[in-house]
Amino acid sequence: MCDQTFMAATFGPCDSCSKPSPLMNIYIKNEATNYCSLCVEMMACQGLQKGETLESLKRESETLKKKLEEERNKLNDVELHQVAEKVEVLSALSIKTRRVLKGHGNKVLCMDWCKDKRRMVSSSQDGKVIVWDAFTLNKEHGVPLPCTWVLACAYAPSGCAIACGGLDNKCSVIPLSLDKNENLAAKKKSVAMHTNYVSGCSFTNSDMQLLTSSGDGTCALWDVESGQLLQSFHGHTADVLSLDLAPSETGNTFVSGGCDMKANVWDMRSGQNIQSFESHESDINCVKYYPSGDAFASASDDATCRFYDLRADREVAVYQKDSIIFGASTCDFSLSGRLLFAGYNDYTINVWDVLKGTRATILFGHENRVSRVRVSPDGTALGSASWDSTLRVWA
Partner 1 sequence: NFSVDIFIELRELRVGLFHGSTLKPPPQNKQTKQPQHKQNKGTNPFLDPRGQSSSSIVQARRTVQQLRIEASIERIKVSKASSELMRYCGEHAKNDPLLMGIPASENPFKDKKPCTVL
Which of 135, 128, 133, 134 is CA-nearest to residue 153? 128
DSSP annotation string for 127-175? SEEEEEETTTTEEEEEEE-SSS---EEEE-TTSSEEEEESTTSEEEEEE
Residue nearer to partner 1 on the CB measure, 26 or 208? 26
CA 130 – CA 112 distance, rounded (Å): 11
DSSP 360-391: EEEE---SS-EEEEEE-TTSS-EEEEETTSEE
How many residues interact with partner 1 (rule CB under 8 A)? 109
Which of 263, 382, 385, 391 lies at the binding interface for partner 1 (CB under 8 A)?
Answer: 382
**Among candidate residues 379, 382, 384, the one with its CA nearest the CA of residue 394:** 382
Q: Does 87 bind partner 1 (CB under 8 A)?
A: yes
Which one of 206, 226, 250, 282 is in contact with partner 1 (CB under 8 A)?
282
Tell whether residue 48 is a contact of partner 1 (CB under 8 A): yes
**By the 8 A CB rule, do 352 and 360 touch?**
yes
Find the part of the chain contacting partner 1 (CB under 8 A) among 179-187, 200-208, 249-257, 282-290: 282-290
Q: Which is nearer to partner 1, 147 or 208 (CB)?
A: 147
Stretch that binds partner 1, among 36-44, 172-180, 201-209, 246-254 (CB under 8 A): 36-44
User: How far, in Å, CA of 163 to CA of 107, rounded?
Assistant: 19
Could you tell me which stretch among 157-165, 178-186, 202-210, 270-278 binds partner 1 (CB under 8 A)? 270-278
Please say which residue, 162 or 383, places its beta carbon nearer to partner 1: 383
Sign of CA dihedral 46, 229, 165, 117: positive
Can you tell me which of 15, 126, 133, 216 binds partner 1, judged by CB under 8 A? 216
How far is the C-alpha of 284 from the C-alpha of 299, rounded, in Å? 6
With binding defined as CB under 8 A, does residue 339 bind partner 1? yes
* 195 counts as binding partner 1 under rule CB under 8 A: yes
Report 223-252 residues binding partner 1 (CB under 8 A).
234-235, 237-239
Q: Closest distance between partner 1 and the C-beta of residue 4, in Å?
A: 5
Which listed range, 47-55, 139-147, 177-185, 243-251, lies at the site for partner 1 (CB under 8 A)?
A: 47-55
Q: Is 377 in the site for partner 1 (CB under 8 A)?
A: no
Question: Cα-atom radius of gyration of the chain, to the nearest Å?
Answer: 22
Verify binding: residue 24, partner 1, rule CB under 8 A.
yes
Q: Is 287 in the site for partner 1 (CB under 8 A)?
A: no
Task: Identify the residue among 18, 190, 250, 336 touching partner 1 (CB under 8 A).
Answer: 336
For residue 76, state whether it binds partner 1 (rule: CB under 8 A): yes
Residues sharing a CB contact under 8 Å with residue 125, sequence separation 6 or more, in sequence order: 106, 107, 108, 109, 148, 149, 150
- Residues from 131 through 190 that contact partner 1 (CB under 8 A): 134-135, 149, 151, 166-167
Distances (CA, A) of 28 to 31, 47, 74, 125, 271: 5, 13, 37, 37, 13
User: Out of 16, 26, 157, 177, which residue is the one contacting partner 1 (CB under 8 A)?
Assistant: 26
Overall size of the chain counted in residues: 395
